[in-house]
Amino acid sequence: MQDTIKAYFSESIQIQVAAADTLAPSIQHAANLMVASLLEGRRIFSCGDGNSSFVAQHFSDLLLHGSQLERPPFPAVTLGANSMLPSEQCSLARQLSALGSSGDLLVAFVSQQQSERVHQAMEAALSREMTIIAVTGDEAQEITGLLGPTDVEVRIPSTNPSRIVEQQLFISQLLCDLIEQEIFHGG
């Protein structure tokens, strides 16, 4: 059992080190897009697949309630949280089609290779002329294929869904802290 525990920690640490070396530019770009969007009065929508759905909810909660600062809430909505049919494939896309506007952002947290619900939400975002920030693992080609030149992918260097979710939680906290720092302290 001790070997298993050590292996889990080792794998997580290795992914964290690899992410620190490679993801800083894309995380900074994502934070800058969110800051600009918020300063323009736009909204940030978030969604996730499977276990990443709680990361999307946590991210919206951080934006609404604050992370490091006591501050006014940012306009953030988690897709799926209020849906009558949360398991329906098109529920995220329907919410985004009803609420999203040009200039808003969609932050999609994806830990699996395929996610039809998130895929459809991203298509709805594209049809609404929204920018997409996708926080994925190494094997989310279906999702990354939808990204355009103004969108951002933060690709976690792992194929293990559990390790991807761990990093997504870390990155969601980091993004909120960066946004607060930029808006309230000027970087």
What's residue 23's pLDDT? 95
Beta bridge partner(s), residue 134: 108, 153
Dump pLDDT digits (tens) for 78-134.
998 555 555 565 688 999 999 999 999 999 999 987 778 899 999 999 999 999 999
How far is the C-alpha of 45 from the C-alpha of 106, rounded, in Å? 5
pTM summary value: 0.91
Task: Domains for the chain: give ranges and CATH numbers.
Answer: 2-185 (3.40.50.10490)
Beta bridge partner(s), residue 48: 109
66 CB-contact burial (10 Å; exposed 0-12 / middle 13-18 / buried 19+): middle
Query: What CA dihedral angle connects 105, 156, 23 and 30, to 10 degrees?
Result: 0
Q: Compute φ and ψ for 93, nearest 5 degrees.
A: -65, -40
Dump pLDDT digits (tens) for 15-66.
889 888 899 999 999 999 999 999 999 999 999 988 899 999 999 999 999 8
With a cut of 80, say whether residue 155 has pLDDT above it: yes
